[in-house]
Amino acid sequence: MKAIIAEKPSVAREIAQLLQISEQKNGYLTGNGYCVTWALGHLVSLAMPEDYNIQSFQKESLPIIPNPFQLTQKKIKKGKSYHPDPLATKQLRIIKEVFDQCSSIIVATDAGREGELIFRYIYDYLKCKKPFERLWISSLTEKAIAEGFKQLKARSDFDGLYHAGKARSEADWLVGINASQALSISGGDEVYSLGRVQTPTLALICKRFYEHQNFKSTKYWVIQLHHRKSYIDFTSQSSNQWEDQKSAEQILRFIERKGRAEVTDIQIKTVSEPAPLLFDLTALQKEANRKLGFSADETLQIAQSLYEKKFITYPRTGSRYIPEDLWTQIPELVRSLSVHEKYKYGVSKLQFGNFNKRMVNDLKVTDHYALLITGKIPSTVSAKENAVYDMIAFSLLESLSDACVKEISHIAITVNDYEFKAKGLKILQKGWRAIKGILSEHHENTDSLADLPELKIGDELNISQSEILEKITQPLKLYTEADVLSAMENAGKLIEDKEVQKAIHTIGIGTPATRAAIIETLLRRNYVERKNKLLTPTQKGLQVFELVKDTKIANVQMTAEWEMALHQIEQGESDEVDFLNHIKVYT
């Protein structure tokens, strides 16, 4: 008899159905030589200071450094204290019963760092010694599960993943518990919470808030001219800006007396805008926040639901690429979309046999490849699930398309010694922007469309109208949730030390799977609040930032370096003991 443990009951039932396991027991299913049970997320976690008989929030207790760390079952808060969660107690007892009656275990928790840790903590807590293998899949379709069972992985293949997850968990405990208690003790009556990723994320939001708040806007004026040539109306704007309106008005009167302008320079360049890559989780969360107003956590929950319903592949991915061996399945995924009305137009713009292969890169595929549809099209799902599915489906069609090719014209127009500029943009090849039939839809780095007539140097242009435009300098915008995700993802690029930045510029803070939870933690602890689509610090959040802004715990560089170290542990390139010793010294 073999035991199979999934992360959630719904996944366990999918596996049981495929393996024709139908006998329902209390907390597990059995039959056909298997017992299938499940965790309920994190059933086991690191013990709290009280479990070591250490009194919390006492100066003499700090620093608290367990040696060794102990595991305890999940606890829930009742009043001011924590008590064992009865659901966790019951399920752990069932899992032990299943493990005891089986000769070996197949681990089917989510295929990632946290999924690995969930199982290993349960395994260690129950003092289990049974051998185990790993089911590693990126989709819950019958085909993916069946193939995964044919290619079960050895335990040792995922030891690095476990050690990275364990090191992350223990580092977060050491930093979070000690820093939170130290700050709370020094702060008096208020209880504060600090964390390895949470605090630098709060610092990013607070810094942007202060930059926005302290910005002093100033007015300036520019002159705009209206022209008409070959039945096409267009405008040009002065290169100069004037800080006082009267100077601009004086020059405007001079230009109006002239009444004509001359084309003095034309620069035309062709720009190829590559098709966007497939989504990873962070990219999906950013797009859903911009387009649909969804929070990062809401998008993750929707994507997880679509995954468990077999409509998309594993959502907690940090890669925007697929491996070479998956490429042969892409045409069939496209065909599955072609029979549905809302995707037909997009599919018709693709050339079968000549797809853009930019998404294929074995070296850039991490634990999981990019988000893909599975070929099963949703029918009875919520409107929000439909909207997120559409984003993933259309991203596949766009990524398979050719580049969008534009011709950008920069025209210099002169009235005496005053220079004006006009900018034109012509689409030479629609490429991926034709998929939805909306060329002007917002995408990053998209130029607004402007039609210019054919012009050549020396052409004289009539000035049909001229006017002064009042402008005002703008502060950096407050962060939306999409902006915070970008700042977390690209935190390495924010480091001022250029040598250090060069080494870790691709490293962010947090992971695609944890960033939404970090934002929700800041909201739950009343450190930040949502105002419309913006995330702004509360008075409490600003207070915390002022107390820690010059310490290492608020430093993006340190956190990014730790993320890099965890990645190296996962890859077997670094040792978790050395990493944790460094954390203990810091603590």
Type of residue found at 34: Y
CATH of 281-399, one of 1.10.10.10, 3.20.20.150, 1.10.290.10, 1.10.8.50: 1.10.290.10
Nearest to 278 by CA among 328, 313, 325: 313
Nearest to 565 by CA among 554, 574, 557, 556: 574
Backbone angles phi, psi at 236, to 5 degrees: -130, 155
Token pair of 427, please? 């689409």
Query: What's the CATH superfamily of 165-214+478-586?
Result: Topoisomerase I, domain 2 (1.10.460.10)
Peptide bond into 68 cis (omega under 30): yes
Domain at 2-151: CATH architecture: 3-Layer(aba) Sandwich (3.40)
Task: Quote the CA–CA distance of 107 and 91 in Å, as a whole number.
Answer: 16
Percentage with pLDDT > 70 across the chain: 95
pLDDT digits (tens, 9 = 90+) for 310-366: 999 999 999 999 999 899 999 999 999 999 999 999 999 999 999 999 999 998 987
pLDDT band at 564 (very low <50, low <70, confident <90, very high): confident
Strand residue runs (E) in 285-335 = none
pLDDT band at 367 (very low <50, low <70, confident <90, very high): confident
Peptide bond into 63 cis (omega under 30): yes
pLDDT band at 433 (very low <50, low <70, confident <90, very high): very high
280-286 mean pLDDT: 97
Q: Which of 8-12, 99-103, 556-560 has the highest mean pLDDT?
A: 99-103
Instruction: Decide the pairing of beta strands 260-273 and 232-238.
Output: unpaired
User: Partners of 34 in the beta sheet?
Assistant: 2, 31
* DSSP-derived secondary structure letter, 201: H
Query: What's the CATH superfamily of 219-274+404-472?
Result: Topoisomerase I, domain 3 (2.70.20.10)
pLDDT digits (tens, 9 = 90+) for 442-469: 444 444 557 899 999 999 999 999 999 9
What pLDDT does residue 437 have? 77
- Mean of per-residue pLDDT scores for the chain: 92
Contacts 24+ apart (CB under 8 A), 230-236: 230/453, 230/454, 232/451, 232/452, 232/453, 234/422, 234/424, 234/450, 234/451, 234/452, 234/453, 235/422, 236/261, 236/411, 236/413, 236/420, 236/421, 236/422
3-state secondary structure 375-417: CCCCCCCCHHHHHHHHHHHHHHHHHCCCCEEEEEEEEEEEECC
pLDDT band at 493 (very low <50, low <70, confident <90, very high): confident
Residue with tokens 């098709």: 275
What pLDDT does residue 555 have? 87
Token pair of 425, please? 């943009």
pLDDT digits (tens, 9 = 90+) for 52-77: 999 888 889 999 999 999 999 998 87
Instruction: Decide the pairing of beta strands 132-134 and 104-108.
Output: parallel
User: Which range is least confidently modeled, 155-159, 198-202, 440-444?
Assistant: 440-444
3-class secondary structure, 85: coil
What pLDDT does residue 348 have? 95
Residue 126 has, within 13 A of its CA and on its CB side, a CA count of 22
Percentage with pLDDT > 90 across the chain: 78
Q: Which residue has the higher pLDDT, 247 or 449?
A: 247
Task: Quote the CA–CA distance of 404 and 407 in Å, as a whole number.
Answer: 10
Look at the alpha carbons of 453, 454, 456, 458 in this order and tell me if their dihedral is positive or negative. negative
What pLDDT does residue 448 have? 53
What pLDDT does residue 449 have? 57
End-to-end CA distance of the chain: 46
Report whether pLDDT(572) > 70: yes
What pLDDT does residue 90 have? 96
Backbone angles phi, psi at 105, to 5 degrees: -125, 140
Rg (CA), the chain: 29
Nearest to 138 by CA among 381, 401, 322: 322
Token pair of 405, please? 């090719």
3-class secondary structure, 194: coil
Report whether pLDDT(306) > 50: yes
Which residues lie closer than 8 Å to 439 by C-beta, 6 or more apart? Answer: 427, 430, 433, 449
What pLDDT does residue 161 have? 94
pLDDT band at 38 (very low <50, low <70, confident <90, very high): very high
**Count of other CB atoms within 10 angstroms of residue 529:** 14
Domain boundaries, the chain: 2-151, 165-214+478-586, 219-274+404-472, 281-399
**Count of other CB atoms within 10 angstroms of residue 567:** 18
pTM attached to this predicted model: 0.86
Is residue 273 within 8 Å of 356, Cβ to Cβ?
no
Backbone angles phi, psi at 230, to 5 degrees: 50, 40
User: Which H helix or E strand runs over 227?
Assistant: strand 219-229
Task: Quote the CA–CA distance of 181 and 87 in Å, as a whole number.
Answer: 29
- Do you know the residue count of the chain? 587
**Diameter of the chain measured on Cα atoms:** 97
Type of residue found at 147: E
Active site residue ranges: 314
3-state secondary structure 237-265: EECCCECCHHHHHHHHHHHHHHCEEEEEE
Nearest to 15 by CA among 30, 42, 26: 30
**Count of other CB atoms within 10 angstroms of residue 341:** 6
